[in-house]
Structures are given as C-alpha cells and as structure tokens.
Amino acid sequence: MFLLNIKDLFGYNWHSRRAFLKSMAEIPWEKVVENCGASFDCIRNIFVHSLQAEQAWIRRLSGKSTEGIWETPFTKFADIHVIEEYADKVEAETNEYLKTLTDEKLNSVFEFKGRDGKINRYRIEDVLMHLVEEEIHHRGELLCIYWQHDIQPPYISYMAYKGQA
C-alpha cells in the first residue's frame, strides 16, 4: 500500500466519525448511552472505544505513553461535547503522526510488548491497517444499533467522501 492510500483511509475514517458525532448530537442522549448488548454496551462506548484504540496505537507508534487511555471510564464522556473534544484531540494526534510517515517508515517493523508480556513485531503499515479495520468493524456495529432503534444513520459512503473523478 502506498502512503497516500493509508492517509486517505484515515481521512475517510475521520469524515465518517464526524458524521456520526453530528448524528449523535441530534438524537436523545438516553439513546446514545442505552445498553444495547453490543461489544461495548452502547453507542457512546463503542464510539469512544474506537477513539481510545486509535489513540493508544498512534501513541505507541510515536513512542509516547498510553497511560490513562484504557483506564478512563466511559462515564467520563458525559455528553456529546466531551466526546467531540476528545475526538478532536485524537484526530490531531493521529494527523501529527501521519505527517511523519514515509513509504520507508510505513514498511518498517514496529516492536512492542503485548499485554501478555510477549514481544510483538508488525510492519507499521499493518498496524495502521488494523486501525482502519477496527474502525470499520465498530462503525458497522453503530449502523446496526441505529437501524435497530429506527434511527436514520449518517450517510458515510466512501464514494461520497471521495466525490467524482
């Protein structure tokens, strides 16, 4: 994959996140925090988990501490404005990291200690693709929850994001 493609995929993810943030602001907060039995219980938690995952991986890749990311309870995100502020912070950190990428760096190997204490080795490109895939996975969950609650989800087509050639 080329550097431009990975940056474009992150751009699309952020385009989609902003659409979901706008949508979440328009539905009753009770629906956003209602337990739906999904991977992270509710719309808010799924959305915030995706932000936390991206922030943790980007900080790892940047050689920065991930302390506090996973320890922050979802209840700290008590309204849409707090989520928006956190999303802005994560997007800025991600964009700062993406600016440092080169094709050479994208193909380099990143080594880190996993939760099990083992040393893991992955190409940076593969870690970033994992983040894109993780986002798409959880976005699908959000779409299903919206549909189950008869809430019109935001239109987040990649083709609409790209526009016509």
pLDDT per residue as tens, the chain (165 positions): 565 699 999 999 999 999 999 999 999 999 999 999 899 999 999 999 999 999 999 999 999 999 999 999 999 999 999 999 999 999 999 999 999 999 899 999 999 988 899 999 999 999 999 999 999 999 999 999 999 999 999 999 999 899 865
In 10 A of CB 33, how many CB atoms? Answer: 18
pTM of the model: 0.93
How far apart are alpha carbons 121 and 3 in whole angstroms? 20
Total domains present in the chain: 1
Q: Is the dihedral of CA 35, 41, 42, 44 positive or negative?
A: positive
Q: Which domain holds residue 31?
A: 3-103+110-162
The two three-digit tokens of residue 31, written as one number: 């629906």
Distances (CA, A) of 160 to 41, 121, 164: 30, 36, 8
For residue 144, the domain's CATH number is 1.20.120.450
